[in-house]
Structure 1
Amino acid sequence: MLRSRSTIAGIRRVLRSALGNAVREELISKNVAALTTLPSASKTKKKRQHVVWGVDEARKFLEHLRTENDPLYAAYVLILVLGLRRGGVLGLAWDCVDLGGEQVWISHQLNRVRGELLHRETTKTDDSTASLPLLGLCITALKHRQRTQDDARKAAGTKWKKSDLVFTTRNGTPIEPRNFNRSFEVQCRKAGVPRIRVHDTRHTCASLLAALDVHPRVAMRILRHSQISMTMDVYTQIPSPETRKALDRLNASLNG
């Protein structure tokens, strides 16, 4: 597990003190912790850097999923456009989706905890109980998901496990979080985009909203910013005309 330089320094300090006491008590002959050196700050910072998608890579990834008719592509739309976490997407229920009212509530999380798959209510905070606006791209993706799930239900017949979850397996059971990650990695490779973690897609959300011409006040709600100035800092990064045209084509293909 990667640790920060300050954490490593703290661990080294404790060991050096403990081994120093052991030397004074003649339990050991040398304080080996005193001979160690800390990694340079620049190297530690470099290791923590992650690859982040730009708008074009996000568009390319979603267009690939649409072409393949991937049953989970709506999940990745929600992650990229609304910045949702994996647990929130996998735990999303249809009764928390209002397509007509164009809003969604993230009230539950689906995570594997100590070997058990748990569908639990999120911690009650102002952010977690507030609705998020559903943009046109998200609405179209979720309508497509409804049709996909209906087809899967009919194909499964008596094997279908009834639940209200938006994203399920072909038999209606919850999706294993690790399998979701594996599917994401496979599709990254097929789409020809840099391989990143599912969690890192959240960093693309702000720039994607700006490129989609989402109103700053709406983006402020989605990004959970406390001040509009934070949102406007992102919106100063105006995407190129080529990027806007590519996103227009994505919207057209999704609506089609």
Structure 2
Amino acid sequence: MNAPRDTPASRRVRANGDGTVYQRKDGRWEAAGYVLAPGNTRRRIRVYGTTRKEALAKLTEKIATSNRGIPVPSAQGSVAAYLTYWLENVAVYHLRENTHTRYTAVARLYLIPGLGRKKLAKLTAKDVRTWLNQLRTTCQCCTRDIDARRDRPRCCATGQCCHKLLSPLTLTYIHSVLKSALEHAVREEEIPRNVARNVRTGTPRPRRFEPLTADEARQFLTAAQGHRLHVLFELALHTGLRKGELLGLRWEDLDLDTGTAAIRRTLQRTHAGGLITLPTKTRAAERRIALPARCLHSLKLHRELQQTERDRTGAKRPATGHVFTTPQGKPIDPTNLTRAFLVLLDKSGLRRIRFHDLRHSTATLLLEQGVELVVIKELLGHAHIGVTATVYAHVRLRLQREAIDTLSTALDGPANDEPARNDGYDPPPCGAIVR
């Protein structure tokens, strides 16, 4: 019997399903095999290596991933092409118009210039991290040619860089837009994993806000008494409603007999539709809140005033049903409300704050009065109590310090002369002295 001859390395017999490995004319090794593709189909792929072992290892890894049920990425285009597809065909139907506009601006200004040329299937976490670090340390005037469009250049064109860097909150927002786009690519089985999730940008510091103190809140309400929209400012400070929620309120949402209000919608200005009424952003924001007696009385007077103004102006169009309107009965533009609010602050002699800080003032004053955090969470319409706890952590810390000081005062007080009752619990032999 003849001994079997050694089979050449390029022609060794492999098991069925293991693929083939052979050497190309250029000296490289090529391995080919069938793997799982999107749509529960099979597709033949090819990998290359400088040695047979390297090519075979790459193919074995692809087949092992396929055997776990993970399809091979089908994305062959660039990141820029996919971002354009995602914004025009996916995000536009799932995001509000203003949010979609911000996402589009982020993609145009940062994502596409930084990562647009890379292949979507070959994008790595290292690429994302390198790009974010570059954004974090690069002057935006120089990168986006902002100085060239100014009438009086003051940065790159003058040779003195102003070092206008992006804030940590902006970097986090840009990173979140990229994560959202890649997450949809994973769901469509274009890529096997979301590499942006493996990159940490750090937790940015929350926005600093300056809520009104109790004395300032009383001063603000006193100055608002003669204002046409004093009911709106009063309701904002007593309930913590957002600007859009206040302007979107309808009389049908209010039950003045039981003293409740149903928060179902919000009023916003969009680029395409102008002033439009939208449902609340989250399910938690759709809520029913209790109204204080002071606001109930003011709302009843406001409804009579609104009808008087409508009769005086002779409005022919049907009433919109909004609680807060212009003298002509039209919805109030959020920008105009902000202007009126700032004028009222100047008139009352208070420092300038944002309208949204009235909401923060409500939560801060409630916390200082000892109201439970879960009650404030329901009133403000936060999705999770962790949001409430995070935003107002500094207030809770101050209350904790006051509570600890109160306890220390009690412990440092004079000892009680009455004999202690023996209830069966003896003190430890060496008790620690609390000071």
TM-score per shorter chain, which class?
0.5 to 0.7
1:95-140 C-alpha deviation (Å, 9 max, x unpaired): 0111112111121111111164233232474423321111223222
User: Structure 1 pair 13/91, CA: closer, same or farther in 2 (3 Å)?
Assistant: same
- Equivalent positions of 1:13-32 (< 5 A) are none
Report the counterpart of residue 183 of structure 1 in structure 2. Answer: 340
CA RMSD of the aligned region, Å? 4.0
Percent identity over the alignment is 31
Question: Is 2:268–2:275's contact at 8 Å kept on the other side of the alignment?
Answer: yes
- Equivalent positions of 1:139-150 (< 5 A) are 139-150=296-307
1:133 aligns with 2:290: yes
Q: TM-score, normalising length from structure 1?
A: 0.66
Structure 1 gaps, min length 5 = 1-6, 20-34, 239-256
The answer to which of 98-107 and 139-148 deviates more is 139-148
- In the TM superposition, residue 224 of structure 1 has moved relative to its aligned partner by 4.1
- In the TM superposition, residue 144 of structure 1 has moved relative to its aligned partner by 2.6
Question: Is 1:71–1:148's contact at 8 Å kept on the other side of the alignment?
Answer: no
> Which one of 250, 253, 266 corresponds to residue 96 of structure 1?
253
Question: Is 2:275–2:333's contact at 8 Å kept on the other side of the alignment?
Answer: no
User: Structure 1 pair 234/122, CA: closer, same or farther in 2 (3 Å)?
Assistant: farther
Q: TM-score, normalising length from structure 2?
A: 0.41
- Equivalent residue letter for 1:107: R
- In the TM superposition, residue 86 of structure 1 has moved relative to its aligned partner by 0.9
Question: Is 2:315–2:328's contact at 8 Å kept on the other side of the alignment?
Answer: no
1:11 aligns with 2:135: yes
Report the counterpart of residue 29 of structure 1 in structure 2. Answer: none
Question: Is 1:104–1:131's contact at 8 Å kept on the other side of the alignment?
Answer: yes
User: Structure 1 pair 227/173, CA: closer, same or farther in 2 (3 Å)?
Assistant: closer
- Equivalent positions of 1:53-202 (< 5 A) are 53-66=212-225, 68=226, 70-114=227-271, 116-123=273-280, 125-159=282-316, 161-202=318-359
- The structure with the larger Rg is 2
Greater RCO (CA < 8 Å, at least 6 residues apart): 1
Report the counterpart of residue 361 of structure 2 in structure 1. Answer: 204
- In the TM superposition, residue 54 of structure 1 has moved relative to its aligned partner by 1.3
| Structure 1 CA distance for aligned equivalents of residues 341 and 162 of structure 2 | 40
- Equivalent residue letter for 1:53: L
What count of residue pairs does the alignment treat as equivalent?
210
| Structure 2 CA distance for aligned equivalents of residues 81 and 63 of structure 1 | 14
Structure 2 gaps, min length 5 = 1-130, 144-160, 168-203, 403-435
Higher helix share: 1
User: Structure 1 pair 196/10, CA: closer, same or farther in 2 (3 Å)?
Assistant: farther
